[in-house]
Amino acid sequence: MRWHKKVATETLIVLSLAPTPLFAQSIAALRQKAAEGDAVAMRQLAQRYGKGDGVPEDQHQWLRWMRMAAEHGDTVAMANVGSLYLVGEYVPQNYQRAFVWLHKAAENGNSLAMSNLGVMYEMGDGVAVNYTEAYFWLDIATANPSSGIKSEELRHERDDVASKLSPAALAAVQERATKWMDAHLSVGASTR
């Protein structure tokens, strides 16, 4: 299994199981909040259906609620849906749809989506191979690691992409990534 597909699969597990304060709420309360447009409640319902927690396990309902949460702006759900399309889990594999959802999640600071997006650019999965964009997203993900991915593997992947860039291109993309992080993450310079 290629690195990003492994990460995408692990992402689904981590993102599906990550608890939030809404998780302790009853199914009825979650349904009410979801009906009112609460994206986190929608994702929590998806998680409940995915695990059979308080409701019968139902992958169709899991996917339905996860997509709704993504469409309502939940970044974790966006990354989850993008990962589903990337690996072809529960849906037909579709790199273009994976790219759309992962890009939305990455732009909103989701580091797991950033890492998958970076490797999509590196491998040319659904997009033209672009080492500059690959480095950009992998560098930001490295500086903002998530519990769902091993930092050492991510750094190795980023550094491998860096070796494919000229010194001038590398310096330019590092500066661009630092500016993006300063504007979006309040993290500052990456761990190069």
User: For residue range 112-154, what is the model confidence (pLDDT) as tens digits?
Assistant: 999 999 999 999 999 999 999 999 999 999 998 776 677 888 9
Domain coordinates of the chain in residue numbers? Answer: 3-184
User: For residue range 63-111, what is the model confidence (pLDDT) as tens digits?
Assistant: 999 999 999 999 999 999 999 999 998 899 999 999 999 999 999 999 9
pTM comes to 0.81
Instruction: Assess if CATH 2.40.50.140 describes domain 3-184.
Output: no
- Residues 98, 82: Cα–Cα separation, whole Å: 4
For residue 40, give every residue at least 6 positions away whose Cβ sits within 8 Å of its Cβ, in sequence order, or none: 20, 22, 33, 69, 74
